[in-house]
Each structure stands twice: as structure tokens, then as C-alpha cells.
Structure 1
């Protein structure tokens, strides 16, 4: 088990791909903001893909280990320590009962870290997933962020613990982090010529957008669009602003919703429908980059993708989460 001493800025239990099949009932999929980091954390400790770990946003997480086991830490390097001694990132390591694990804050590149534990985090499944939806207060550990005195049980290890310490990823498979995150995206469903001008779409695929301070697991807000972005003077029966539309479903996760003049990436805990246009969708294989984008610091740049390219990228990404990626 793991006893939380300090929940930090935001620490939650998440799995992957989350709570699928409930968008029609208004329930977001939740799940890890950076599925790549979580899946590698699971691989390092011998878990199957998708097992639940701990997502740490921002930093300052601290916990006491309640049993001898094996952990891994992936994602941004928050300078983790075990009993005040540095521990590696992107590598598994042994821990003993009574050890104290501490994190500093996000590094020069990236925003979220992940803890994988042999056997995963043993919280109840809710509608088929262990993921926390903090904007709906369900799933994970009591439907909320972790806080001091919480105790998280570990699951039964999937492999013999003695074979797990020291597992490392090959250098070439470790994701490259940046200050400018290139996101491949497919235009639509609400695009030119009916909703957005050609100049407006060109702007989306040529401009670097700064991530705003108000971004979170529900929505990543970026720089406003220009005045010639919209192809309409108003939203007609949808409303007075040209971003308005009669309510319809949102292409969650990863659609770019435009609310007024503000583009918003709807992500893990985002709304599933509403009355604003959605001008593009980020491909599944690049969703992890959104989770590592640091609010008020990093930038996002969209690159055009086809459906065929998106499918191939997803196949190639999934192939990484196997023993072949270990050094």
C-alpha cells in the first residue's frame, strides 16, 4: 500500500484508455493525460497495458511505502527521491516498507509524472475503469485528488518481484519533450467553408498557440483566433456569436472546440456535448503531448494529418508498449 503524506498540486489514480462507451450519457473517458508515460511505467514494473498508476501534475507529491515492492517513475523529471536519495526516471527500482518517496516540481520540459507499481493501484472498477474523473467526482480513489492520510492498496504483482528492479527503456523509445508541442490533427467536423474561413484554417495550422494558465484536465485553452477566422457573422439559430451552434456531440478526446474567440482542446475530463463549433481533432497517438504541455509556458502547433496517417501512428505507438522496448 501507499500512504499519502502530501498530495501536492494534483495527484490522481488513472488507467488507460479510461471509461469508454459513456459519452452519450455525458461521462468523459477520463484516464491518463499522458498515456505513453503511464504505459511505459506499467511496462517497467511488469504490468499489462492499461493498469492503473498515479498521475502527478505540477509536483510536490510525497508518500510512504507500505510494503516491499517495485516502482517506476516516468514523465517529466520532478527530481524524485527515496529517503532523500535520487531515484531514476524511466527505470524500475526496488522499495521497502517505510521508505518515503518525494517529488519536487515539473522540470524544464513536461508537466506530468507517473508512478507505476507492480500489480497496479487496487481501487474498484467504476463502469469498467479505475480512472478518476475529478470534474464528475467518480472513479479512482473516492472520485477525487489524493490528499494526506489517504491509503492506496497495491494489486497482486503480475510477475515475480525479484525479476523487475533495474528494467530500463531503450533510449530511442523514451519520448522527446519540448516547449513547442506539435500535434497532428484532422480538420472537422465544423470547418470551412460553412463555419471557418480558409484563412482561419490556415491560421490554425501555421500559428504557435500558447497554453493558457486556466488549462486543466477538462480543457486546454490556447491563444485566441483572429477576427477573420469565422465564415459567418453570427451563429444563426445557435446564438449570437459565430462560434455558436445548435448543441451537438463533441469528438472527445482531443477535439478543438472554439468558444467565442478562444480555442479549447477538450481532453480527459472534458464535456461530451455543447453549443460550440469543433474545428479539428488531434490524432490519438499525439494526445499524450497535451498532457505534458505546461500552462503559461509551453506552446502548441497543429500539423495536418490524414485518417490513414493517424491510424498508422496509433498502431506504431501501441507496438512500443512491449518487452522489445526494454534495454
Structure 2
């Protein structure tokens, strides 16, 4: 078990791929914002790669270890310590009852850290997932972020021989300040909704992430007026970004409201009345959640559906690599 001493900015229970199959009922999939870090941390521990873990956004949090166990810390480096001593990331670490696990804050790159635990976090599944959906207040730990004195249970697991296992350094993801996101155009794109020059702008211009960024959407800097191929939204509304409501291509939709693009992600809306001009591919979704609000930039890179399928297959093949975990 783990007891929360300080919940920091935001600590959630998340798994992967989240709560699938309920978008038609208006329920977002939720799930880990950086699914790659979560899955790699679980594989270090010998868990199932999608098992639930703690997702730390921003940092400033602290925990007490209540029972002996083994953990792995992945994602952004927030200077983790145990009993004030620095501990390694991307490695299985033995912890003992009474240990104090502490995180500072996000640094030069990356915004989310994951604490994976041998045996997985024990919270009730809701519609097939343990993930927290903040904007629906369901799943995870009581449908909310963790707070002081919360106690998180952990499933029992024989952890002998796990401590010391580590991710092969060549597989550690690169954390940067300008995130290239491979993206497929559509469904609301050229020529009916967006001009060719507008799409050229979208795929050539680094766009700063707004301070208005959360698990529902990462807002980006505005697009120019020449982005639009029409003067208004017709029956959808007065602005060219308006459409008659339809389902959003979640997760990873590039949704444009007015002249403001947003990346719709884990807890984002499943339908609405604004255009979705493109979609970030599955293999690059993890990068969105590591973008630092009000600091980092994203750059969309045009790719094809075939490229997206290939990237997804390559990612799954990486998880099966015989040299992925060493020690």
C-alpha cells in the first residue's frame, strides 16, 4: 500500500488503453497520457504492460510506502528521491515500509511521471478499466485526483528477483521541447473546410502549447484567417469552424474552435459542433501528454494511414524485443 502525504498538482490512477467502447455514450477513453512510459514501466516490473499506475502531472508530490514492494519510475525526470536519496528512473527499485518517496517538479523536458508498482494498483474496474476520467468523475480512485491521507492498495505479487531490472537505455524515449507529431488529415479538411494554404500552415508551423492545457485538450496558438475555405459554418453556425454536431476522432483529434486548434486527448469530448481537421497517430499520442503547457511547442508532420499502421506495428514489436529489459 501507498499513502499520499502530498498530492501535488495532479496524481491519478491510470491504465492503458483505458475505457474503450463507450464513446457512443459520451464517455471518453481516459487512460495514461503518456502510454509509452506507463507500458515500459510495467514491463520492467514484469506486470502486464497496460496495468494501472500512478500518473503524476507537474510534480510536487510525496508518498509514504506502507508495505515492502518494488516500483519503477518512468516518464519525465522530476528528481525522485527515497528518504532524501536520489533514485534512478527506468529501473526496478525495492522499497520498504516507512520509506518516503518524493518528487520535485517538471524540469527541462516532459510534464508527466509514472510510478508503476509490482503487482499493480488495486482499485475497482469501471467498465473494463481502472483509469480515472476527471471530467466525468468516475474510475480510478473515487473518480478524482489523489489527496493527502489517501491510501492506495496494491495487489500482492512475488517480487523476488525484480529489483535491479532496468530498461535498456536505447529504448528510453527522448523528451524534448518541440514535439513532432505524425498526423493524418481529416475528416473535416481540404477543400470543403480548410484551404490548401491553411493545411500547409498546419503542417509547417511549430505551435506553442497554451497554458490552457489539461487531460481533455491541449490548446495551441491560433491559425490565421486564410486557414478557412468558407466564410461561415452555414447551418452549423456563424464561424467557419462550426459544423452540425458529429463524433470526434478521439484520441488525437486536431479540433479547431474559432481559430484555436486543440489536441483532444484522454478525457476529451466525444462529439461536438467544431471541425476536426486532422488526427495524431496512435504511436505518437504519448508525446502530447509530455508537452509542458505555456512552454513547449508541437509540430504536426503529414503522414499517411499506411505510415500510421506501420508505426503502430513497430511500436508493438518494440515491446516484444528480447533486449528491452536487462538485468
- Smaller-chain TM-score range? over 0.9
In structure 1, how many angstroms separate the alpha carbons of the residues matched to 2:288 and 2:155? 29
Q: Which residue of 1 aligns with 2:131?
A: 131
- Per-residue CA deviations over 1:174-216 (Å, capped at 9, x if unaligned) read 0011110000000000001000000000000000000000100
Q: Which residue of 2 aligns with 1:103?
A: 103
Q: Which residue of 2 aligns with 1:316?
A: 314
In structure 2, how many angstroms separate the alpha carbons of the residues matched to 1:220 and 1:121? 28
In structure 2, how many angstroms separate the alpha carbons of the residues matched to 1:244 and 1:128? 34
Asked whether 1:242 is paired with 2:240, we answer yes
How well do the aligned residues superpose, as a CA RMSD in angstroms? 0.7
- Equivalent pairs counted in the alignment come to 325
- Per-residue CA deviations over 1:138-190 (Å, capped at 9, x if unaligned) read 00000000000100000122xx3121001111111100111100000000000
Shift of 1:250: 0.1
Q: Which residue of 2 aligns with 1:73?
A: 73
Q: Which residue of 1 aligns with 2:36?
A: 36
Asked whether 1:200 is paired with 2:202, we answer no
SS in 1 for 2:136: coil
* Structural mapping, 1:43-54, within 5 Å: 43-54=43-54
SS in 1 for 2:114: strand
* TM-score of the aligned structures, taking structure 1 as reference length: 0.98
Asked whether 1:268 is paired with 2:275, we answer no
Asked whether 1:153 is paired with 2:153, we answer yes
Q: Which residue of 1 aligns with 2:115?
A: 115
- Per-residue CA deviations over 1:102-158 (Å, capped at 9, x if unaligned) read 00001201000000000110000000000000011000000000000100000122x
In structure 1, runs of 5+ residues without a counterpart are: none
In structure 2, runs of 5+ residues without a counterpart are: none
Shift of 1:217: 0.3
Q: Which residue of 1 aligns with 2:218?
A: 220
Q: Which residue of 2 aligns with 1:18?
A: 18
Shift of 1:319: 2.3
Asked whether 1:284 is paired with 2:267, we answer no
Moved segments of 4+, more than 3 Å: none
Q: Which residue of 1 aligns with 2:298?
A: 300
SS in 2 for 1:162: coil
In structure 2, how many angstroms separate the alpha carbons of the residues matched to 1:80 and 1:36? 19
